[in-house]
Amino acid sequence: MSRAAPAASPAEFIRTNLRLEPARGFPHIRLYTPHPGSGLRRLEDEKRAAPYWAYVWSGGAALARHIAEHPSTVTDRTVLDLGSGCGIVAITAAQADAATAFATDLDRYALAATALNAAANDVDVAILPGLDPLPRVDLVLAGDVFYDARAARQSALLLDRFRDAGIPVLVGDPGRKHLPLPRMTLLASYDVPEFGGATVPAAVYAWRP
């Protein structure tokens, strides 16, 4: 099977090569979803980075489930989806009537995916290309930000900056090796879909000072 070549822009690549479908486990949310002919492997080879933004990860799924079941967590609040990936957390916050749902990510493809997925679900998500200075928000939502040792160190420092500014932080994670559990207060656990097809347990935590 031939692989699709990356388009001139991340948004064009996503629109051209992914399919807009209901998200697994979240049938009320449509996301641009990869399929065998999407060409993600070639994109990964050229970008030298995994296309994690094309999938719903379990930590983000747990946060999205938590928001959907407890909308008062975000209603009328300004929230930030940190490491937005496909944007499912920001989209769920917007659907729960967050005053403003911001989203940020280090990958420009993730930012494009979040913007396209938000538009496909008729919600407003404000894309932040960076965090300098820290945005003024009421709540930070951080899904799957402790996926390896380096990311865990950087994420902990960033989350501490938000906490030091008086901003509460919720973390979604399936219990990865580098999750700093001593800094966490467990709020809820969920069985959620993982991008490989399995259903896995994941939890929502409050980040402690």
The residues, ordered by sequence, that sit 6+ positions from 145 with a Cβ below 8 Å of its Cβ are: 59, 82, 83, 151, 152, 155, 159, 171, 173
CA distance 189 to 167: 23
Helix-, strand-, coil-residue percentages of the chain, each rounded to 5: 35, 25, 35
Together in a domain, 175 and 147: yes
Q: Is residue 4 part of a domain?
A: no
If pLDDT is split at 50, 70 and 90, which confidence band does 41 have? confident
Question: Quick one: 187 and 140 in the same domain?
Answer: yes
Number of independent structural domains in the chain? 2
pLDDT tops 90 at residue 195 = no
Q: What is the pTM of this model?
A: 0.93
Using one digit for the tens of pLDDT, what is the confidence trace for 64-73? 999 999 999 9
| Residue 35 sits in the same domain as residue 64 | no
Average pLDDT estimate for 126-151: 95
Residue 184 lies in a domain: yes
* Mean pLDDT to the nearest integer, 146-170: 96
Question: Average pLDDT in the 179-194 region?
Answer: 95
The pLDDT value given to residue 2: 45
Query: Which pLDDT value is given to residue 1?
Result: 42
Predicted pLDDT of residue 40: 85
- Its domain, for residue 36, covers 10-52
Average pLDDT, the chain: 92
